[in-house]
Amino acid sequence: MYFNHVIEAVGNTPLVKLNKVTDGIKGTVLAKIEYFNPGNSVKDRMAIRMVEDAEKAGLLKPGGTIIEGTSGNTGMGLALAAIAKGYQTIFVMSDKQSKEKQDILRAVGAQVVVCPVDVAPEDPRSYYSVAKRLSQETPNSFYPNQYDNLSNTAAHYDHTGPEIWEQTEGKITHWAAGVGTGGTICGVSKYLKEQNPDIFTLGLDTYGSVFKKYKETGIFDENEIYPYKTEGIGEDILPKNVNFDVIDQFIKVTDQDAAVMTRRLAKEEGLFVGWSCGSAVHGALEYAREHLKEGDTMVIVLPDHGTRYLGKIYNDDWMRAQGWL
């Protein structure tokens, strides 16, 4: 058996039990290791779905250009789909993202445009605005808009959720994920709650993001928005893919706690994962220590791979400069 193209290898990623970082926690804590996807992240799933749905709808035509704002991982998934299907790619990123992410995207043939992070989403210099403008100016282009494109959620409802349900033989009791665009957590949660409404969904947010306050009060509080370093989770907007009805609770995690846990996952579990993976595990274990019981099974998604962060959290000098080592 062989695949006709690398994008056919997306999905069916393993569940791995966490052993050392979960010391003292009752129940079983499993990690869904998404770096086994060919683009090394969970975003491969929704990137391919957005492209295929756009093709069906006639929004993406032969020889077209895919233009997207990305923190890096969605860009990689879209780039792999573009290579398989014969499209060009332009990706717009904020200057907060690691240089590795920019270099990886260039390596797979993408044009990369870098924008300042410390501007409002509606500012014409923001990566949201620049991506939209480029898509309007470029003939025969498609702007997936991962934040509001519901193909994002659908990919996880149709595939990631059923995978987790089957891999745990229906024994999952808690589902935890970092929240950025919202597609992963909400697509999986919707599917799992349809199988068992008692499954608890925990969203991991970061300080500097609006999600937790909005879930708890229904207020979009601009005072919650301030710069943070963690990449890939949290937002200063409310994406359409974030369905607050299927997320039961949010916990916020600091940049430092996330970075330190990411390093622990590498050293203690052999899981060389990305920064937001540490956010997800730190926050999920904080919840698990108080609430998980014997017989419970928690699944945490680990979205990407450590190679994206070699110059940051896996660099001792950088960590010391932050005062985190």
> Could you tell me the pLDDT band of residue 201, with boundaries at 50, 70 and 90?
very high
Tell whether 60 and 27 lie within a shared domain: no
Chain segment 298-321, per-residue pLDDT in tens: 999 999 999 999 999 999 999 999
The pLDDT assigned to 120 comes to 87
Tell whether 72 and 157 lie within a shared domain: no
Chain segment 147-169, per-residue pLDDT in tens: 999 999 999 999 999 999 999 99
Tell whether 177 and 30 lie within a shared domain: yes
Chain segment 162-191, per-residue pLDDT in tens: 999 999 999 999 999 999 999 999 999 999
pLDDT at 223 over 90: yes
The pLDDT assigned to 71 comes to 86
pLDDT at 98 over 90: no
Q: How far is CA 184 from CA 71, 199, 226, in A?
A: 15, 16, 24
Domain count, the chain: 2
Domain boundary among 121, 142, 163: 142
Tell whether 161 and 228 lie within a shared domain: yes
pTM as predicted: 0.96
Position 62 in a domain: yes
Q: How far is CA 238 from CA 113, 172, 220, 235, 290, in A?
A: 24, 28, 8, 7, 29
Domain boundary among 90, 119, 142: 142
Position 1 in a domain: no
Q: Provide the residue type at 127 as one letter.
A: Y
**Mean pLDDT across 24-48:** 98
Tell whether 230 and 293 lie within a shared domain: yes
Tell whether 194 and 289 lie within a shared domain: yes
The pLDDT assigned to 203 comes to 98
pLDDT at 97 over 90: no
What is the residue-averaged pLDDT of the chain?
96
The pLDDT assigned to 121 comes to 85
Tell whether 187 and 312 lie within a shared domain: yes
**Mean pLDDT across 260-281:** 98
Residue-number span of the structural domain to which 222 is assigned? 6-41+151-322
Domain boundary among 101, 120, 142: 142
Q: Tell me, what CATH number does 110's domain have?
A: 3.40.50.1100
Tell whether 257 and 161 lie within a shared domain: yes
> Could you tell me the pLDDT band of residue 57, with boundaries at 50, 70 and 90?
very high
Tell whether 207 and 269 lie within a shared domain: yes
The pLDDT assigned to 132 comes to 92
> Could you tell me the pLDDT band of residue 202, with boundaries at 50, 70 and 90?
very high
The pLDDT assigned to 118 comes to 86
Tell whether 309 and 210 lie within a shared domain: yes
Tell whether 36 and 91 lie within a shared domain: no
Q: pLDDT > 70: what percent of the chain?
A: 100
> Could you tell me the pLDDT band of residue 117, with boundaries at 50, 70 and 90?
confident
43: annotated active-site residue: yes
Tell whether 119 and 262 lie within a shared domain: no
Q: Which of 17, 20, 43, 171 is catalytic?
A: 43
